[in-house]
Amino acid sequence: MSFNIALSGLNAAQKDLDVTSNNIANVNTTGFKESRAEFVDVYAASLLASGKTKVGDGVLTADVAQQFQQGSIQFTNNALDLAITGNGFYAVVPEIDSLETSYTRAGQFKLNDSNFVVNSAGEHLLGFPVNADGTSASVSLSTAEPIRIPTASGAPQKTSEVDIRMNLPAGDSYISNAPGNFDPDDPLTFNHSTSVTIFDSLGDSHVMTYYFVKDNPSTNPNEWLVFAGVDGKPIDLVDPAGGTTNPVGGTVSGPLSPTGVIGGRLIFDTSGDFVSQEPTLAEGGLVTRDFTNHLPNGADPAQTIQIDFNLDPLAPNPNEPTQFASNFEVTSLEQDGLAVGRLTGIDIGTDGLIRATYSNGTSEPLSRIALVNFANEQGLTQIGNTSWKESISSGEALAGEAGSGTYGTINSSALEQSNVNLTTELIDLISAQRNFQANSRALEVDNQLNQTILQIR
């Protein structure tokens, strides 16, 4: 019996050495979780045996238990290096259409030749689909899909509104015969001008210029005429409601100047406050006629642009134009169009939201990295490659968003190191070695006793 006891001790010591050596071997493995050999004693007794004199029958390895405490975080320069702080696992699949999901804490991800996010084994990282505002469309592992970074360009957006704030000098002189002699090619026929880059429906850029002409102070004091042109060609400013009165003078169908361009009128009070405009629009601006004669590149000719002066008829407003005794000054000139954008990078938030950024200044949510928890992490089945599979002991995989509930947060440009404490493992290695030596000595003594007995004559 003593032989078996010593032999079980040797087996246990060997198991302890194996586990400790494996921990030490993986001290630099990203996302690795150390294991611990757990032992129990063995007692075998019959129904009528005396429990007071029973000697144990050795030791047995009860479990090699994984330890899922947090590993240290190492920061990198790769946005696709991901580290989980707290609970949770990444979900990965070997193929795009595969349902064979495995789970890992190793966040060394990269793009493959099809722009899918994969790990070093080529397994695809799963994410939840998201809405346009970045919220998750579904938080279920059954709807999670491989994350792909698109190679397509950011779609262009045609300009529909220009917001302008400025000061028109109250002391400017009246240009005789205005607006009848207005000519955008002759700077002597207008007082001031300013320009902004706008975009058509194809993302092509154009220069839209606004011309301001001081009206006759003897008949229309504190009033200015405004005209517009695109790429040097005048464009009419009209009332989309269909009004027939031209605010500049005459009718919509009649020529207003040598160019025949239709303009608008800005009206200020004696304090320089912007009080009204013609035509009067509920939206607070002037609207261009369509771009039929200005877009030869095949873009949408029905495009119109509202020029918003932020009119507030109730009281002075800092967003409105002013007419003060000061220089001509444009304090804000913004438009809402976008050129064609090229992918310039990706950002990953602590909540796992992946957002693509484009060269035209826009960004677009792509997916949200799925995190998975288990009722019993130690029940997961190790399959190698720093990955685990769901088992009966672990319970079912429960998917969720990073930063919500018991799920940890995700750090981009960071990796979770192995949670192995090398100093502790080296001490355990010495202890396991001494244990092995002690059991070897017990086996040797048992052998000597047996030899002594066999030599009795």
95-114 pLDDT, tens digit each? 999 999 999 999 999 999 99
Instruction: Answer whether 334's CB lies under 8 Å from 208's CB.
Output: no
Residue 117 has pLDDT above 80, yes or no: yes
Q: What is the mean pLDDT of residues 47-62?
A: 74
Q: 395 and 433 share a domain? A: no
Instruction: Answer whether 416's CB lies under 8 Å from 105's CB.
Output: yes
In a domain, 352, yes or no: no
pTM of the predicted structure, to 2 decimals? 0.70
Predicted confidence band at 192 (pLDDT cuts at 50, 70, 90)? very high
In a domain, 197, yes or no: yes
315-362 pLDDT, tens digit each? 788 889 999 999 999 999 999 998 888 888 899 999 999 998 888 878
In a domain, 63, yes or no: yes
**Residue 261: predicted pLDDT:** 77
Instruction: Answer whether 321's CB lies under 8 Å from 165's CB.
Output: yes
Last residue within a domain, chosen from 317, 335, 353: 335
Q: 87 and 195 share a domain? A: no
Q: 229 and 300 share a domain? A: yes
In a domain, 125, yes or no: yes
Q: 128 and 219 share a domain? A: no
Q: 112 and 80 share a domain? A: yes
Q: 184 and 327 share a domain? A: yes
Q: Considering its fold, how many domains does the chain have in total?
A: 3
119-137 pLDDT, tens digit each? 999 999 999 999 989 999 8
Per-position DSSP letters for 76-88, written without gaps between them: -S-TTBEEEESB-
Residue 248 has pLDDT above 60, yes or no: no
The 3-state DSSP composition of the chain as helix, strand, coil percent (nearest 5) reads 15, 35, 50
Least confident of 45-54, 310-319, 320-329, 415-424: 45-54
Least confident of 62-71, 140-149, 285-294, 448-457: 448-457
- Strands (DSSP E) found in 139-221: 145-146, 161-167, 192-199, 205-214
What CATH number is attached to the domain comprising 188? 2.60.98.20
Domain extent for 245: 161-335
Q: Which helix (H) or strand (E) holds 454?
A: helix 422-454
Q: 254 and 317 share a domain? A: yes
**Residue 258: predicted pLDDT:** 46
Mean pLDDT score across all residues of the chain: 87
Report residue 379: phi and psi, to 5°. -85, -5
Last residue within a domain, chosen from 283, 312, 335: 335
In a domain, 154, yes or no: no
Q: What is the mean pLDDT of residues 298-315?
A: 87
Q: Of 6-20, 275-289, 409-423, give the range with the top mean pLDDT.
A: 409-423
Q: 272 and 378 share a domain? A: no
**Residue 56: predicted pLDDT:** 75
381-401 pLDDT, tens digit each? 999 999 999 999 999 999 999
Least confident of 46-50, 142-146, 360-364: 46-50
Least confident of 8-22, 52-66, 74-88, 411-425: 52-66
In a domain, 358, yes or no: no
Q: 411 and 433 share a domain? A: no
What's the rounded Cα separation, in Å, for the pair 63 and 44? 20
Residue 373 has pLDDT above 50, yes or no: yes
Is 206 strand, coil or helix? strand
- Cβ atoms within 10 Å, residue 96: 11
Q: 293 and 398 share a domain? A: no
In a domain, 37, yes or no: yes
**Residue 241: predicted pLDDT:** 55
In a domain, 177, yes or no: yes
Q: 120 and 207 share a domain? A: no
Least confident of 23-37, 201-215, 248-262, 432-446: 248-262
Residue 244 has pLDDT above 60, yes or no: no
18 vs 257, more confident = 18
Q: 424 and 398 share a domain? A: no
Q: What is the mean pLDDT of residues 405-423?
A: 94
